[in-house]
Amino acid sequence: EAGVTQFPSHSVIEKGQTVTLRCDPISGHDNLYWYRRVMGKEIKFLLHFVKESKQDESGMPNNRFLAERTGGTYSTLKVQPAELEDSGVYFCASSQDPRTGINTEAFFGQGTRLTVV
Amino acid sequence: RKEVEQDPGPFNVPEGATVAFNCTYSNSASQSFFWYRQDCRKEPKLLMSVYSSGNEDGRFTAQLNRASQYISLLIRDSKLSDSATYLCVAQGWAGNMLTFGGGTRLMVKP
């Protein structure tokens, strides 16, 4: 079974440009999460989807970040316009709904390493 | 103050050594706790869940003390392959977001 996949694995963009990250969760996982690790800091939560609905977006840093999960399958995270401080590794994770799944472990994708120059 | 605090290390130990990591959390509403392992430039992977009664998985033992809001991980008979960053993680309830500590780096040397 395929794990959580993220695309691209690396992205280097100039300040002011737009970047869109994509996450394909494990099939059947209703929960999808975005996290970010910036240099020297801990991994921090950005937002949580349950199917296509935003359950919690309290971790989104500002309105330059827009996440979508149309149809409740894959998700995209767009940064527009990108700033230098947005550089870091963006992880996506998915898990089963605890109301329907026995194993609610969160599985992570390999991350997208974003560098804004 | 960070919600989950860990000593960043690095812990440099010889093969076969026993090493212990500690972690404290500040949110008393946290319900579930985990240790994740992260290899260099890789994604975090679940190592084990942590229960108040203590749980063991092979060479790894995890313990939770809710009164002290303290979590530990003990690794016995360290292997070279144990070299990684160990992340202490708290969760409010099943399905809720994960709150990560900064990680403790372990380096096991021959």
For residues A72-91, average pLDDT: 97
A74 vs chain B: nearest CA distance in angstroms? 18
Dist CA A109 CA A102 (whole Å) = 21
Chain B partners within 8 Å of A109 (Cβ): 43
In this prediction, residue A70 carries a pLDDT of 86
- Residue B35, number of CB atoms within 10 A of its CB: 24
Check CB contact of B100 with chain A, cutoff 8 Å. yes
Task: Judge residue A20's burial from the number of C-beta atoms within 10 Å of its C-beta, 0-12 exposed, 13-18 middle, 19 or more buried.
Answer: middle
Cis check: omega of the bond before A25, within 30 degrees of 0: no
Which residues make beta-bridge pairs with A65? A79
pLDDT in tens, B59-91: 999 999 999 999 999 999 999 999 999 999 999
Nearest to B97 among A45, A98, A109 (CB): A45
Residue A74, classed as helix, strand or coil, is: coil
> Is residue B94 less than 8 Å (CB to CB) from chain A?
yes
The beta-carbon neighbor of A108 closest among B44, B96, B102 is B44
The answer to whether B4 touches B88, Cβ cutoff 8 Å, is yes
Q: How far is B93 from chain A (nearest CA, A)?
A: 9
Asked if the C-beta of B44 comes within 8 angstroms of chain A's C-beta atoms, the answer is yes
pLDDT per residue rounded down to tens, chain B (110 residues): 789 999 999 999 999 999 999 999 999 999 899 999 999 999 999 999 998 888 999 999 999 999 999 999 999 999 999 999 999 999 987 778 999 999 999 999 99
**CA dihedral of B13, B42, A108, A59, whole degrees rounded to 10:** 90
Q: Which residue of B has its CA nearest to A57?
A: B97
pLDDT over threshold 80, residue A99: no
Dump the DSSP string for chain B.
Answer: --SEEE----EEEETT--EEEEEEE--TT--EEEEEEE-TTS-EEEEEEE-TT-EEETTEEEEEETTTTEEEEEE-S--GGG-EEEEEEEESSTTSPEEE---EEEEEE-
Q: Counting beta carbons within 10 angstroms of the beta carbon of residue B85, is it exposed (0 to 12), middle (13 to 18) or buried (19 or more)?
A: buried
Question: Of A77, A7, A71, nearest to A48 (Cα)?
Answer: A77
A11: phi then psi, degrees, rounded to nearest 5: -150, 130
Neighbours of A22 (CB within 10 A): 16
- Average pLDDT over every residue of A55-84: 95
Look at residue A55 in the predicted model and tell me its pLDDT: 94
pLDDT of residue A1: 63
CB contact under 8 A, A43 and B44: yes
